[in-house]
Structure 1
C-alpha cells in the first residue's frame, strides 16, 4: 500500500486517501448525513460507501480522473464536458430531497454581508465588488427548485474518456437553482460552457449562469482566505470576478 495522501484539509473537514479508499472526517455530522442520503437517492454514479464510524466516512475511489482543476486548463474532451452536462440534467430531473435548501432571501443577505466584508477589509477594490454585485443580481430571482449537488466544481466530477464515472462530495446537496450547479461546474472554465450546455439541453439562461459565477466567487473568497486557500491564484475566484469587468 502506498502512503497516505492528504486530499484536502481545513478546520471543518479533511479528506485522506489510503490506496483506493477515501476517508472523510467532518466535524458536522449533519453534512455527512446529507452526503450519504443524497448519494443513495441520485440517478448518477457516486462513490460506494464502504463504512461509516462518525466522524469518519469511508468511500471507495472512483475510476477515471477529475474533469479539471480550478485555475488550470482542463485536458478533458468536449465530449466529457458534454457528458457532465447530461449527468447534471439527470440529477436536476430527479425527485427533490426531503430536506430544505437555501432561500433566496438568505442568499441575498449573505451576499450583502460578504460584499461589505470584502470592501471593508480592503480585500478587493470597491469597483470590482460593486460591478460583480450588479452582475450577480440576475441570479437573485425566483426559481423552480431542482435536486442540485450544491458544490459541483470540476474536481468533483470524474470521467473516463467521454463518460462520467461518478460525482463526489454531496454534503451540500439540496433543493435549489439548477443553473447554480452549471455555474459552479464551469467556474473558471468559461470556454467549456457551450459543451456543458450541449449535453445539458434546454432551459439554460447564460446570463444567469454568468451571474452565479460572480455570486459564487463573492461568497467564497472570505471562506477560502480564512481556511488557508488562495482565491487570487491565476484562473481562480478573483480572476473570475475581474473577467466580468
Structure 2
C-alpha cells in the first residue's frame, strides 16, 4: 500500500500524495473552481482531474521532475529553463480567462497592500527599515498599468515539471486569471536570477528586466507575513528575505 505524504499543509489548504495521486483539500471552494477551469483552458500540459468532491480535488501526478525549489540550486539544464519560458509565452498568448484572478488586481490595490506589508515588516522588526525602503523603491516600478494576459498567478519553479528539456506539466492553478505577464516571469525566476536569461530566451520576446526585478522585490515584500503566519520560513537561504537583500 502506498504511503500518504504531506506535500503542503496550512490553515487554508492541504495537498496530500498517495502514489501517483494528489489530493487537494481547500476551504475556499472558489480556488478549486478556478483550478479546474484554468487547467481546462490552459494550452500547456496540466494534471489530469481524476475526480472532484468539494472540498477535495484528486489529480494525477505529472511525469518528470520539478524545475527546482526556491532556496536550492536548480539542476535543470538551460534548455529546460528555456522550455519553461516558451510554455509560459504560450499561456500568455492564449485567450483571456473569464475571471479576473488575484494576480490581476489593480496597481492601486497593490500599492495599498505594499504599504501595509512594509509597515508590518518594519514594525515587527523583521527587516531593517533601510532595506525595506530600498526594496519598496525598486518594487514601485511594477505598480503601473499593464496589458492583462492569461496568467498562472503562482508559477513557482516547483510548479513546473520537465523531462528531457521539455515541459511535462504545470501544476497548482488556483491563483490563475488575468494578470501581468511579468509577474509570472518574475515568480518563475524568483531566487534564481542566474536562469533569467534562459527563461527570457525561451519566452521569445523583449522583456523589461528592471520590471522583473521590481516584481521580485514586490512579491517578496508582499509574501513575508503570509509565509511567516502559515509555517514557512521566508528567511531560509535563497528565499524571499535573501531576494530582498540582493536587490539593487
Cα deviation digits, residues 79-132 of structure 1 (max 9, x gap): 000000000000000000111131111111111110011001111110110000
- Any unmatched runs of 5+ in structure 1? none
Residue aligned with 1:23, SS: strand
Match of 1:4 in 2: 4
Secondary structure of 1:5's aligned partner: strand
- Aligned partner of 2:208 in structure 1 is 205
SS at 1:228's partner residue? coil
Contact 1:77 1:161 in 2 (8 A): no
Indicate the SS of the match to 2:125: coil
Q: Does 1:134 align with 2:137?
A: yes
CA distance in 2, matches of 1:2, 1:39: 27
User: For 1:8 and 1:231, how far apart are their aligned partners in 2?
Assistant: 15
Task: Work out whether 1:241 is the aligned partner of 2:244.
Answer: yes
Shift of 1:66: 0.3
Cα displacement (A) at 1:137: 1.3
What does residue 86 of structure 1 align with? 86
CA displacement 1:174-201 (0-9 Å, x = unmatched): 1111000000000000000000000001
Residue 176 in 1 paired to residue 175 in 2?
no
Equivalent positions of 1:1-245 (< 5 A) are 1-100=1-100, 101-245=104-248
Q: What displacement does 1:134 show? A: 0.2
- Find the residue that maps to 2:161 and give its secondary structure: strand
Q: Segments of 4+ in structure 1 off by > 3 A?
A: none
> The residue matched to 1:37 in structure 2 has which SS?
helix
1:2 is displaced (CA, Å) by 2.2
3-state DSSP of counterpart to 2:225: helix
Report the alpha carbon displacement of residue 203 of structure 1 after superposing the two structures with TM.
3.0
Count, aligned residues: 245
Q: Please state how far the C-alpha of 1:70 moved relative to its aligned partner.
A: 0.2
Q: Kindly indicate whether the alpha-carbon contact (under 8 Å) linking 1:23 and 1:58 is maintained by their aligned counterparts in 2.
A: yes
1:26-82 C-alpha deviation (Å, 9 max, x unpaired): 000100000000000010000000000011000000000000000000000000000
